[in-house]
């Protein structure tokens, strides 16, 4: 699923399959099991999924760093498997790990990237100055990168990926590890640069809010395949009615059985002490939900009604909650 028809796409993945060897006598790890999507030119597309869903593997294949076992992919109309060098000329890739030299200054790092892309020294310097201004790094241009905060270093990573004016920019988890302030600065910059440079941006993220804010369209990836795709509002409006979230004082599996008997509620799922369901009319569903739980001897600590969020979309398509999978990885790096 997910390969909605896009005329003349900037990025296209068709049925990508990829496994990694897991070591002696162990079955291989399947990272991608037939993943497809298409990205229209000049748009921001999000691949949203928890750690291990297969997002990085997809981006590595699209950016020619890894080969798929089967399936095909094109970037700017160029076949990735057979013309990798041409693909590399038209893409920028910002990986999860920084590609900068910490012992060099920002200017030195940018000039080197420009020269590696075959730019003249003069062009590279002009582009470096432009990007340093754009990313708010002009005042720190001649400081060693090792003295940068997490947010500054990440902005420099993105600037490096933009030196040669790529048609398509891949951003692999651009804000993982950033504090909320640095994250929102990065969001503003990504949105601006997609508009200004008429670039296509493919970003991977495990932040629902990031996908919601930045992506024109997104694909939800779970266990190596796209389980839902569309604009954030299309995905959310695919869910009728209200989401009901009930928090119990203690996790109790019986809640699932009890709530499945409440006729006003559907799609009931449970994750620890959190129980969720959907209803056409939240105000009508809540009293019987609370009554049924109370009758079964369970204590409710909170009950909320909400319009559908991307989390609900995710839950609906994968059967499990997003946050529980996504949370642990981020290391907090403060400005
Ligand atoms: N080099 C590798 N060798 C073995 N297994 C790998 C390798 N790279 C990824 N995997 C496995 O493939 C699956 C998909 O990983 P991938 O990194 O693509 O997911 P992801 O969605 O990008 O998650 P993350 O945010 O953690 O990078 C996971 O089960 C992962 O453990």
Say what the pLDDT of residue 4 is: 58
Predicted local confidence at residue 325, as pLDDT: 46
- Residues 75 and 128 reside in one and the same domain: yes
Measured distance CA(317)–CA(309) in Å, rounded: 13
Q: Whose CA is nearest to atom 27 of ligand 1?
A: 56
Element (H, E) at 205: strand 200-205
42 contacts 199 by C-beta, under 8 angstroms? yes
| Judgement on whether residues 250 and 108 belong to the same structural domain of the protein | no
Domains held by the chain: number: 2
Sheet with 11-20, strands from edge to edge, namely 29-39, 11-20, 70-75, 78-79
**Nearest residue CA, atom 13 of ligand 1?**
31
- For residue 5, being part of any structural domain is answered with no
| pLDDT computed for residue 335 by the predictor | 32
Residues with beta carbon inside 6 Å of ligand 1? 20, 29, 31, 49, 51-57, 173, 206
Domain assignment of residue 328, yes or no: no
Cα of 61 from ligand 1 centre, angstroms: 12
Residues 178 and 196 in one domain: yes
* 108 domain-assigned: yes
Do 181 and 146 fall into the same domain?
Answer: yes
Q: Is residue 80 part of a domain?
A: yes
For ligand 1, the distance from its centroid to the CA atom of residue 56, given in whole angstroms, is 7
pTM of this prediction?
Answer: 0.80
Give the distance (Å) from ligand 1 centre to CA of residue 204: 13
Domain termination residue (choose one: 235, 252, 285)? 235
15: left (phi over 0), alpha (psi -120 to 50) or beta: left
Residue closest by Cα to atom 16 of ligand 1: 54
Task: Provide the pLDDT for residue 114.
Answer: 95
CATH of the domain at 123: 3.40.50.300
Out of 207, 235, 263, a domain closes at: 235
Q: Which two tokens stand for residue 147?
A: 């003295």
Asked whether residue 78 falls in the same domain as residue 144, the answer is yes
Q: Closest residue (by CA) to atom 17 of ligand 1?
A: 56
Q: Ligand 1 center to residue 320 CA distance, Å?
A: 19
Task: Flag whether 98 is in a domain.
Answer: yes
Residue 302 falls inside a structural domain: yes
The pLDDT, as a whole number, for residue 333 is: 31
Residues 254 and 276 in one domain: yes
Residue 267's CATH number: 3.30.70.2470
Is 4 part of a structural domain of the chain? no
**Ligand 1 center to 54 CA (angstroms):** 6
Ligand 1 closest atom vs CA 22: 4
pLDDT of residue 231: 93
Q: Final residue of a domain: which of 215, 235, 255?
A: 235
Task: Please tell me the predicted confidence (pLDDT) of residue 6.
Answer: 77
Residue having the nearest C-alpha atom to atom 18 of ligand 1: 54
CB 245 within 8 A of CB 273: no
Exposed e or buried b per residue across 109-135, where buried means at least 16 C-beta atoms within 10 angstroms of its C-beta: bbbbbbeebebeeeebeebbeebbebb
Closest approach atom of ligand 1 to CA 173:
25
Provide the residue range defining the domain that includes 257: 239-318
For residues 24 and 146, membership in a common domain is answered with yes
- On whether both 141 and 229 belong to a single domain, the answer is yes
Q: Does residue 156 sit in the same domain as residue 99?
A: yes
Residue 274 lies in a domain: yes
**Ligand 1, atom 25: nearest CA belongs to which residue?**
51
* 331, burial (CB in 10 Å: exposed 0-12, middle 13-18, buried 19+): exposed
181, 215: one domain? yes
Same domain, 135 and 187: yes
Encode the chain (335 residues) as per-residue pLDDT tens digits. 545 577 889 999 999 999 999 888 899 999 999 999 999 999 999 999 888 899 999 999 999 999 999 999 999 999 999 999 999 999 999 998 888 899 999 999 999 999 999 999 999 999 999 999 999 999 999 999 999 998 899 999 999 999 999 999 999 999 988 888 888 888 888 888 877 777 999 999 988 888 888 999 999 999 999 999 999 888 887 777 788 999 999 999 999 999 999 999 988 999 889 999 988 888 889 999 999 999 999 999 999 988 777 777 888 788 777 664 443 333 333 33
Tell me the ipTM for this assembly. 0.95
Residues 34, 111: one domain?
yes
Ligand 1 atom closest to the CA of 57, numbered from 1: 18
């Amino acid at each position: 699923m997910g390969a909605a028809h896009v005329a003349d796409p900037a990025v296209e993945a068709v049925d990508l399959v990829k496994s990694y060897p897991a070591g002696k006598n162990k079955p291989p790890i399947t990272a991608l099991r037939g993943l497809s999507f298409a990205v229209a030119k000049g748009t921001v597309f999000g691949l949203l999924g928890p750690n291990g869903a297969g997002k990085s593997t997809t981006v590595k294949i699209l950016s020619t760093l890894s080969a798929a076992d089967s399936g095909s992919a094109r970037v700017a109309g160029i076949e990735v498997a057979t013309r990798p060098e041409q693909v590399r000329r038209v893409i920028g890739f910002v990986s999860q790990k920084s590609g900068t030299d910490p012992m060099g200054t920002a200017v030195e790092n940018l000039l080197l990237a420009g020269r590696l892309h075959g730019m003249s020294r003069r062009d590279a310097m002009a582009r470096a100055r432009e990007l340093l201004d754009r990313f708010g790094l002009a005042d720190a241009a001649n400081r060693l990168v090792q003295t940068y905060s997490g947010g500054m270093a990440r902005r420099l990573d993105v600037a490096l990926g933009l030196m040669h004016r790529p048609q398509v920019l891949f951003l692999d988890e651009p804000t993982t590890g950033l504090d909320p302030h640095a994250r929102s600065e990065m969001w503003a910059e990504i949105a601006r640069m997609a508009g200004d440079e008429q670039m296509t941006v493919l970003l991977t993220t495990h932040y629902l809010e990031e996908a919601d804010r930045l992506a024109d369209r997104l694909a939800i990836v779970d266990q190596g395949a796209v389980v839902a795709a569309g604009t954030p509002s299309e995905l959310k409006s695919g869910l009728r009615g209200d989401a009901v979230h009930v928090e119990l004082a203690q996790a109790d599996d019986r809640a699932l059985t009890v709530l499945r008997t409440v006729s006003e509620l559907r799609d009931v799922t449970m994750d620890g002490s959190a129980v969720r369901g959907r209803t056409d009319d939240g105000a009508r569903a809540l009293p019987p939900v609370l009554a049924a739980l109370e009758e079964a001897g369970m204590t409710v600590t909170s009950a909320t009604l909400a319009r559908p969020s991307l989390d609900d979309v995710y839950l609906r398509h994968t059967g499990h909650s997003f946050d529980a999978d996504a949370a642990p990885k981020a290391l907090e790096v403060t400005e």
